[in-house]
A and B are shown apart, each in its own frame.
Chain A
């Protein structure tokens, strides 16, 4: 029983993390949207099956983990790419590097 209770905690945690992640990347993610309702349904269904069918419990939590790692991975990938993307300095910035200033443009 205690084992089942512990498993419920981690599954609920995963669902909470999924909701937090979706809120971060999707501005339209609200408690009214279909995805939120589906996640809530899954969370409730999971709590029921956890107590009775331990084999099914692993599956539902595992799928939640897969989805969480998918969306987390996508967000982190974007962040890494933003951080390490290259790019040339503009002429003004390169001049500033060596302490020079561009002449003023009169047009």
Chain B
């Protein structure tokens, strides 16, 4: 039995030739998960790796997964440890983000990622209020206006909301420059997380507020699904669609925010 972990498809094909398809989930092939710490020879920093039994976890590109942050390594190890008999790789979001950040399969750069995130500002969900329904409009003023205000006071922009869906002027070039500068403060893994957060809630402003700890994840998802929930108040909630969507968004946004946080902060503790 080959024990190279990055090559799930090869494992599939050799063990279960008859049923190898996208639908069969890989089996949990390990019992224990642990984290080991090493010192990188070149930089002298601590790096962490995840072990499944005695095998080291590799990314999908075949490289050994190396993490700078100990809590992140613990959280990723926990993802693998909480799997049942069949692995659900799509749900292990921190692992996925770590793989993407290390492999960079789409060959992104800080430039391409910040451009993609900036693209969301022009069409940001929370910048367009709908005047047609007075209830929705009221909710939007209550829930969305503070988020815009937080961003403006934090980095000095003057972004405003619009009631016209064709308005192209909600953020000036000056504003976008300031946002761009804020985005570029982050290192590459944090940028990957930032992009994932923005794309999951379809709004830079909501992602920003969640990342800067202005709001908790529940409030963020409430803001992102405001229109659905307002409609559901009138017409009722469908659990297998709305509930599912909510939990999906929740896991995506929380995982992304955690990933950005762990990659952006160094933890030091001193015992005296």
Q: Does A28 have its Cβ within 8 Å of any Cβ on chain B?
A: yes
Q: How far is the CB of B216 from chain A (nearest CB, A)?
A: 5
Is the CB–CB distance between B216 and A78 below 8 Å? no
How many angstroms between the C-alpha atoms of A82 and B75 in the bound complex? 24
How many angstroms between the C-alpha atoms of A81 and B240 in the bound complex? 8
**Could you say which residues of chain B place their CB within 8 Å of the CB of A29?**
78, 81
How many angstroms between the C-alpha atoms of A59 and B258 in the bound complex? 12
Q: Does A76 have its Cβ within 8 Å of any Cβ on chain B?
A: yes
Q: In chain B, what residue has the closest Cβ to A85? A: B240
When the two chains form the complex, which single residue of A26, A80, A84 contacts B78, counting CB atoms closer than 8 Å?
Answer: A26
Is the CB–CB distance between B244 and A77 below 8 Å? yes
Q: Does A95 have its Cβ within 8 Å of any Cβ on chain B?
A: no
Which residues from 48 to 68 on chain A have a C-beta closer than 8 Å to any C-beta of chain B?
Answer: 58-59, 62-63, 65-67
Interface string of B238-250 (1 = CB under 8 A from A): 0110011001101
Interface string of B41-83 (1 = CB under 8 A from A): 0000000000000000000000000000011001101100110
Known: A45-B269, A70-B255, A77-B91. A59 touches B213 (CB 8 A): yes
Using C-beta atoms within 8 Å of the partner chain, give the interface range for chain B: 35 or more
Known: A26-B82, A63-B261, A74-B91. A38 touches B217 (CB 8 A): no
Interface string of A8-52 (1 = CB under 8 A from B): 000000000000001001101100001100100000010000000
Q: In chain B, what residue has the closest Cβ to A70? A: B254
Q: How far is the CB of B258 from chain A (nearest CB, A)?
A: 5
How many angstroms between the C-alpha atoms of A58 and B212 in the bound complex? 10
**Could you say which residues of chain A place their CB within 8 Å of the CB of B33?**
28
Q: Does A69 have its Cβ within 8 Å of any Cβ on chain B?
A: yes
Known: A67-B258, A70-B254, A77-B247. A84 touches B77 (CB 8 A): no
Is the CB–CB distance between B35 and A34 below 8 Å? yes
Which residues from 203 to 260 on chain B have a C-beta closer than 8 Å to any C-beta of chain A?
Answer: 210, 213, 216-218, 239-240, 243-244, 247-248, 250-251, 254-255, 257-258
Is the CB–CB distance between B35 and A73 below 8 Å? no
**Could you say which residues of chain A place their CB within 8 Å of the CB of B210?**
66
Q: In chain A, what residue has the closest Cβ to B251? A: A73
Most buried by A among B77, B93, B247: B247
Known: A34-B35, A66-B258, A67-B75. A73 touches B250 (CB 8 A): yes
Is the CB–CB distance between B213 and A62 below 8 Å? yes
Q: How far is the CB of B206 from chain A (nearest CB, A)?
A: 14
Known: A66-B257, A73-B254. A58 touches B213 (CB 8 A): yes
Interface string of B81-108 (1 = CB under 8 A from A): 1100000100101100000000000000
Given A26-B82, A35-B74, A66-B217, 5 more A-B residue pairs with CB atoms under 8 Å apart are A38-B74, A66-B261, A69-B250, A73-B247, A74-B247
Interface of B toward A, CB cutoff 8 Å:
32-35, 70-71, 74-75, 77-78, 81-82, 88, 91, 93-94, 210, 213, 216-218, 239-240, 243-244, 247-248, 250-251, 254-255, 257-258, 261, 269
What are 20 pairs between A and B in contact, CB < 8 Å? Answer: A26-B81, A26-B82, A29-B78, A34-B35, A35-B77, A38-B74, A59-B213, A63-B261, A66-B210, A67-B258, A69-B216, A69-B217, A70-B258, A71-B82, A73-B250, A73-B251, A77-B251, A78-B91, A80-B239, A80-B240
